[in-house]
Structure 1
Amino acid sequence: MREVIDEEAGKAIENSLSGFIDKIQNTILSVVEERIKKLEDNTNVAKEKSGGRKPCSYKEFMACKPAIYNGEVDPIICQRWLSDMEGVFERTHCDTDDYVAYGTGQLRGQAKDWWDNKKKEIRVEAAKAMTWDEFKTPFLKHHSPKAVINKIKEEFMQLRHKGESIDKITGIFMDKMKFYDELITNEEQKIYYYYNMLSAEYRKFMTPTKYETLTEITNVAREREIELKKQIERGERRAQIVNLSPMKKARTTESSKKQEGKSGSSNCKICGKGHKGECRFKDKPCPICGKTGHTAALCPGKVSVCYKCSQEI
């Protein structure tokens, strides 16, 4: 009887252990499958972020030679650095989680001092978890203050072409225009402000309503600049000094006074020379602007261009 009981008990234990082992195996398999699925999902998300490519390493990021920022409190330099940095992020398929770490690695001088102080202020862990947009908010507040931006806006409204090359004045115009997004919202307005910024000898050969884009009117301005230089080379125009330095102005004034003392009379307002009687150029139109009351040498619309290199002074 005991042998029968032991045998039955053994069978019951064996069946019970078998079921328990199966249950443990199923639980383990379920956990493993769940973890594998999670890893696959994370991999897919990373691929989506990088456009199907593996996120770049810091070495690959630095291979693109990202720009350095030294902490200039200048909205133009500051925002250009941000734009350049975001361009590198895009080209290298950087993981968004690495934007702040990689980007702040390019800070130097006062900019690095600011970031080191900011990390202490918000704690290191918070700095590591910071997104790029969260970084840009305090960064711009410090390096691109509203007072400086307002000054740039004023300079933009007062910007005038005074003898600089078209490429130079266009670059200045474009840099300052970025801060007037609320005012200049379309190409027509860009053309309007660009046209009014140009000097008279450019505007009189241009009709702003003919152009559809800012690029078109800047190209026409370049063509006009080339033609003016050719006129000087052919001797049809003379180079005029524009924007004299204080020292040169003083010398010019002194020279005029000496000339006035020698001639015994003041210089003529029409031709600029010392003579008696009525000026013979009084009723003659200026060959540059077509108006009377001055000669070509004193025309306010003249541009200073070097006779040797044909570059504007």
Structure 2
Amino acid sequence: MTPLATPPVAPPQENLRNNATLVEQFWKLQPPTFESGLDPLVAEDWIATIERIFNLIDCPDPRKVTCATYMLQHGARHWWDSTARSRPQGHGWTWDQFKELFLKKYYPSNIRNQKEAEFLMLKQGSLTLIEYERKFDELSRFAPALVDTEQKRARRFEQGLRDDLRQAVVTFELGTYHEVLAKAQLANFRESSNSNSKLSQSGPLEKRKWEDKGKGKQDYSKKNKEGGPTSGYYQLNPVCGKCQKRHTGLCLMGTGACYSCGEMGHFSKFCPKGQVKKQQQQPYQQKPGNPSKGQARVYALTGQEED
């Protein structure tokens, strides 16, 4: 019986060359770094991204831990160095072992349970349809048993929709999540179009109200120009602190001078200049015995007729 031939062992230089090629492929895909933080979703997303890169480059399991741990930084790097030292020499780490320890550290089970409960209570409420869809996709991964088929996923999405959108969708009994989403988007679009149509129909009335308010403002401005509280006189002549009145020039209160002409020796009531000014401002008065212009014209015409 011929003994089985032992497989050839690759020389060390070839192993180094293979490792270098693998690392180069890994770096070309720009793997993200990870540092310890308070958001557990970041930890789960980091693991998912690293695994997608491993699938693309067909990375063997013994090399996965080496590549992934190189991307740890700061607190996460200190945690892994301490964890790796606790393992006896010569015992390597599998990817599943690393992932279990990593998620236990940065994504504990109580947080996952909390996210699952948040998904169970998810309702659209005041969210837009786009915001509700994004939240549904984000939280559904924490309850995979509830959305493991297209029909389950569709019914769960329907249950959380706003009442008007849900009534527009459930009657069709759609079988897939994407069909339910498309029908909800169509109903939401029609509802928005109807709302915009109502607003456009009420536009002319709102415009007339605005114009009426504008006319009132114009009338008020005209009143101010004619001498209202905000006219130029009131702005240039504030209330005098001495006599509590508005006037131009110096205040003559308590000086003994006439308020009309500013001279001494008489009051404004008996001011000779003030009396002359009043007579000039009075309308023309007919003197007794002198006919008015209209009466004189009539008399002249009458006289001509008599001649």
Per the normalisation by structure 1, the TM-score is: 0.54
Once residues 83 and 164 of structure 1 are traced to their aligned partners in structure 2, the CA distance between those partners, rounded to angstroms, is: 28
Within the alignment, does 1:111 sit opposite 2:81 as a pair? no
Once residues 144 and 208 of structure 1 are traced to their aligned partners in structure 2, the CA distance between those partners, rounded to angstroms, is: 40
The residue that corresponds to 1:26 in the other structure is: none
Aligned partner of residue 210 in structure 1, secondary structure: coil
Once residues 96 and 8 of structure 2 are traced to their aligned partners in structure 1, the CA distance between those partners, rounded to angstroms, is: 28
The residue that corresponds to 1:29 in the other structure is: none
Matched ranges for 1:4-19 at <5 A: none
Aligned in 2, Cα 1:135/1:54: closer, same or farther, shift over 3 Å? closer
Which of residues 193, 206, 209 in structure 2 aligns to 1:230?
A: 193
Equivalent residues, number: 194
Q: Deviations over 1:84-106 (max 9, x none)?
A: 11111111222322101111122
Rg (Cα) greater in structure = 2
The residue that corresponds to 1:77 in the other structure is: 42
Higher relative contact order (CA 8 A, sep 6+): 1
Within the alignment, does 1:213 sit opposite 2:161 as a pair? no
The residue that corresponds to 1:93 in the other structure is: 58
Per the normalisation by structure 2, the TM-score is: 0.55
Within the alignment, does 1:58 sit opposite 2:28 as a pair? no
| 1:192 and 1:208 in contact (8 A); partners too | no
Q: What is the deviation of 1:120?
A: 2.4
| 2:119 and 2:142 in contact (8 A); partners too | no
| 1:68 and 1:106 in contact (8 A); partners too | yes
Q: What is the deviation of 1:56?
A: 4.2
Moved more, 69-78 or 96-105: 69-78
Which of residues 98, 120, 141 in structure 2 aligns to 1:157?
A: 120
Q: What is the deviation of 1:61?
A: 0.6
Once residues 129 and 20 of structure 2 are traced to their aligned partners in structure 1, the CA distance between those partners, rounded to angstroms, is: 42
Which letter does structure 1 place at the counterpart of 2:8?
A: K
Which letter does structure 1 place at the counterpart of 2:57?
A: T
Q: What is the deviation of 1:125?
A: 4.6
Q: CA RMSD in A?
A: 3.2
The residue that corresponds to 1:250 in the other structure is: none
Once residues 86 and 158 of structure 1 are traced to their aligned partners in structure 2, the CA distance between those partners, rounded to angstroms, is: 30
Q: What is the deviation of 1:197?
A: 0.8
Q: What is the deviation of 1:171?
A: 2.0
Once residues 113 and 177 of structure 2 are traced to their aligned partners in structure 1, the CA distance between those partners, rounded to angstroms, is: 24
Once residues 59 and 145 of structure 2 are traced to their aligned partners in structure 1, the CA distance between those partners, rounded to angstroms, is: 32
5+ residue gaps, structure 1, are 1-32, 41-45, 47-52, 238-313
